[in-house]
Structure 1
């Protein structure tokens, strides 16, 4: 066994151990990096905003971008808290509707619900399920203070990055090549996170309209969950459709809302995920499905539910970075779905 291979194995094991041991600090940092890129992308649009022939936010574009993100997060936390309170009140009516559904099922099919299935239905606690989901989201939001500190330092460091590059690389031509490469990486990552966030938001908004139209409880909560789950390809989309659809079974005493939601939400996920997203995303999300599943499993084991939400963005960012260097480009090609990556600048 060569020394290079041994060093690679030791380095990989050390990184894995660091990710597990330091997850309480690294999870907020990973979220902060994502937030930093999204804030930076929003700030770019504020810088370009023209009012009466002037650009009022050209020098202070980060401030309104931060305000937008803070207001959105505040609304999310408030909405989750209200949802948890409402669930405890509505839980008894869900149990009553569940019994009616079992009776309808027996009437329509002429079959009696078996003891095992009846026991499963009786043990199904919708309030506990929604509470667990809300708790997981709140756990992510619970690191908001540490995330905010990380974001603040990232924004401060951004101002001095060019100065550090000048000191690290005195040669002008070499520095220019490195600056161009780093700028290209940043543009690709910013594009991916910004477009993915907008696509996820569009999916959540359209789904919210459908949920309101059908009359499903906690439509805003489910729309938020659909927005978050949209960052997880394929599996996330399936869960995003099934969870609110399952709630309709116990909220209503008829199967019509269930079928309506299953068809309409599934159509939204298919059209936005398979038609619109590939057109606007380009080659940024060119991950192999096998890599997606492996990343989902790996980051889920390391960082739990938060890791599952972050797995694909982290993997995409890693692929963009690896694909920008000739030495590591073969790894990026292996991670991609069709091997087609953007050419190295």
Structure 2
């Protein structure tokens, strides 16, 4: 009995490792599909409610239009904020370089040579190359978006059919568990996005208000940046906390204001991200904080920035599936911090 349990655990671990390896090497194919499934889980209740009133075709069209409008609005706001920051950096390149050189000289007097390498390699040409690289990435993002859109259209159109096929499986127990797991995964995804969006809006407004209070240039762009990056748990808040003091240093040319900015931004991130957001999400997600951090690091390594965004939803989906099947319930109990709930 004990040997059988060890074999069972080993097989689960090996399966997970093989799946993760496949996700890494098949990123170009699997990544847009997973992102599309995430969108479908969130948008499906809207289509289901609409198709009872206006028919399946019109419901699909309206759902796609609403989803595309939300995505386009978010993307446009992010592009506006990014353009404001890039323009400001471009206009202040010489000032940034002068401050780096002055800071290097001051640090060298105290036997600190960290910025010497940076000042030697920082120049306007390097900044222009970076901007061009970002522009090339935009083309890749647009191609990715088209692929995701095709998957979403096909997926929303086939959701009813796929559900019926799962319900018709010979193994009715597995069929029932898969349908329940799919429903619960959708509920958790929507809860997760609701909490993240509320936290992102609160973070963006707080950063904008704090930046205006500190009389920082581009307070609106900083608010947009904080709003968008907050969708990347931990990573986004770290980027905002690190970059705002640097911009404050360039603008004011002293260490006092950047230090105050660092303290203020850290307080905002801790209050919203570490206290209010977990309170709002409550036990609805039932996932342990170490697993959240591990998921973000793992999927960032596998898929980059989009992996950081999808890390927690993928962990939630896996936990929900583990909860529904007896052979893997012990994994859900461990990884959910003892708060796993089943329905």
- Which of 68, 71, 74 is 1:70 aligned to? 68
Output the CA distance in 2 between the equivalents of 1:283 and 1:140: 35
Q: Is the 8 A contact 1:101 1:250 kept in 2?
A: no
Output the CA distance in 2 between the equivalents of 1:44 and 1:331: 34
Output the CA distance in 2 between the equivalents of 1:339 and 1:128: 51
Higher relative contact order (CA 8 A, sep 6+): 1
What 5-or-longer segments of structure 1 have no aligned partner? 48-54
TM-score of the two chains, using structure 1 as the length reference: 0.74
Change (3 A) 1:64 1:194: farther
| Backbone CA RMSD of aligned residues | 4.3
TM-score of the two chains, using structure 2 as the length reference: 0.75
What corresponds to 2:238 in structure 1?
238
CA positional deviation for 1:25: 1.3
CA positional deviation for 1:142: 4.2
Secondary structure of the 1:215 match is coil
Structure in which a larger fraction of residues adopt helix: 2
Change (3 A) 1:58 1:273: farther
What corresponds to 2:25 in structure 1?
21
Change (3 A) 1:138 1:37: farther
Output the CA distance in 2 between the equivalents of 1:85 and 1:233: 24
Output the CA distance in 1 between the equivalents of 2:143 and 2:83: 16
What corresponds to 1:96 in structure 2?
95
Output aligned runs, 1:114-153, within 5 Å: 116-124=114-122, 127=127, 131=131, 139-140=140-141, 142-153=143-154
Q: Is the 8 A contact 1:39 1:62 kept in 2?
A: no
What corresponds to 1:197 in structure 2?
197
Secondary structure of the 1:341 match is coil
CA positional deviation for 1:11: 3.5
What corresponds to 2:307 in structure 1?
307
1:231-274 deviation digits (Å, cap 9, x = unpaired): 44444422222123322222433445523432332222122123
Change (3 A) 1:77 1:162: closer
CA positional deviation for 1:20: 2.2
What corresponds to 1:154 in structure 2?
155
CA positional deviation for 1:147: 0.7
Work out the number of aligned pairs and report it: 332
What corresponds to 1:341 in structure 2?
340
What corresponds to 1:52 in structure 2?
none
Q: Is the 8 A contact 1:210 1:264 kept in 2?
A: yes
What 5-or-longer segments of structure 2 have no aligned partner? none
